[in-house]
Structure 1
Amino acid sequence: MGSFKEATAIEAAGPGEFAADLDAQWAVGTKLHGGYLLAVVARAAAELADHPHLTAVSASFPNAPEPGPATVQVELLQTARSLTQLRARLVRDGQPCVEALVTQGTLVDDDPWWTSVTEPEMPAEQDSRRFPSSAPGNTFEVPILDVVETRLDPAVLDAFAAGEPTATGAISTWQRLADGSEWDPLSLLVALDPVPPVSLELGVFGWAPTLQLSAYIRRLPAPGPIRVRLEAGDITGNRMDETAVAWDSSGRVVGQANQFAGVRLPKR
Structure 2
Amino acid sequence: MPEAASAAAARATLGDSEFDRDTALTPREPGVYALDLSADWTVFGVVNGGYLLAVLGRALADALPHPDPFTVSAHYLTASRPGPALVRTETIRTGRTLSTGQASLFQYDEEGNEVERIRVLASYGDLGTLPDDVRTSAEPPAMPPLDQCLGPQDGPAPVSGGSAFADRLLLKLDPATLGWALGRPSGKGEMRAWFALADGRDADPFALLLAVDALPPTAFEMGLSGWVPTVELTVHVRCRPAPGPLRVSVTTRNLAGGFLEEDAEVWDGAGRLVAQSRQLARVQLG
Q: TM-score range by the shorter chain?
A: over 0.9
Aligned residue in 2 for 1:45: 60
Q: Determine the C-alpha separation between the residues in 2 that align with 1:82 and 1:234.
A: 36
Query: Closer, same or farther in 2 for the Cα pair 1:179/1:61, shift >3 Å?
Result: same
- Asked if the contact 1:174/1:228 (under 8 Å) is kept, the reply is yes
Query: Closer, same or farther in 2 for the Cα pair 1:26/1:63, shift >3 Å?
Result: same
Q: Determine the C-alpha separation between the residues in 1 that align with 2:265 and 2:214.
A: 10
Matching residue's letter, 1:39:
A
Aligned residue in 2 for 1:151: 172
Q: Determine the C-alpha separation between the residues in 2 that align with 1:170 and 1:130.
A: 16
Alignment map for 1:67-82 (pairs within 5 Å): 67-82=82-97
Aligned length: 265
Q: Mark the runs of 5 or more structure 1 residues left unpaired by the alignment.
A: none
Comparing 190-199 and 133-142, the one that deviates more: 133-142
Q: Determine the C-alpha separation between the residues in 1 that align with 2:48 and 2:157.
A: 21
Q: Determine the C-alpha separation between the residues in 2 that align with 1:184 and 1:100.
A: 19
Matching residue's letter, 2:275:
G
Matching residue's letter, 2:276:
Q
Comparing 47-56 and 209-218, the one that deviates more: 47-56
Q: Supply the RMSD in Å over aligned alpha carbons.
A: 2.0
- Asked if the contact 1:32/1:64 (under 8 Å) is kept, the reply is yes
Q: Mark the runs of 5 or more structure 2 residues left unpaired by the alignment.
A: 1-15, 109-113
Does 1:99 find its partner at 2:119? yes
The correspondence for 2:137, drawn from 116, 119, 133, is: 116
Query: Closer, same or farther in 2 for the Cα pair 1:76/1:134, shift >3 Å?
Result: farther
- Asked if the contact 2:17/2:201 (under 8 Å) is kept, the reply is no
Matching residue's letter, 1:186:
F
- Asked if the contact 1:147/1:179 (under 8 Å) is kept, the reply is yes
Comparing 137-146 and 187-196, the one that deviates more: 137-146
Between Structure 1 and Structure 2, the one with more helix by share is 2
Query: Closer, same or farther in 2 for the Cα pair 1:134/1:10, shift >3 Å?
Result: farther
Q: Determine the C-alpha separation between the residues in 1 that align with 2:97 and 2:270.
A: 26
Query: Closer, same or farther in 2 for the Cα pair 1:199/1:137, shift >3 Å?
Result: farther
Aligned residue in 2 for 1:169: 189
**The residue matched to 1:187 in structure 2 has which SS?**
helix
Identical amino acids, percent of aligned pairs: 37
Deviations 1:69-98 (A, max 9, x none): 100000011110101100111011110001
Does 1:11 find its partner at 2:22? no
The correspondence for 2:222, drawn from 198, 202, 207, is: 202
Q: Determine the C-alpha separation between the residues in 1 that align with 2:282 and 2:17.
A: 29
CA deviation after TM superposition for structure 1 residue 111, in Å = 4.8
Matching residue's letter, 1:25:
D
Q: Determine the C-alpha separation between the residues in 2 that align with 1:95 and 1:74.
A: 16
CA deviation after TM superposition for structure 1 residue 154, in Å = 2.6
Aligned residue in 1 for 2:35: 20
Matching residue's letter, 1:193:
D
**The residue matched to 1:5 in structure 2 has which SS?**
helix
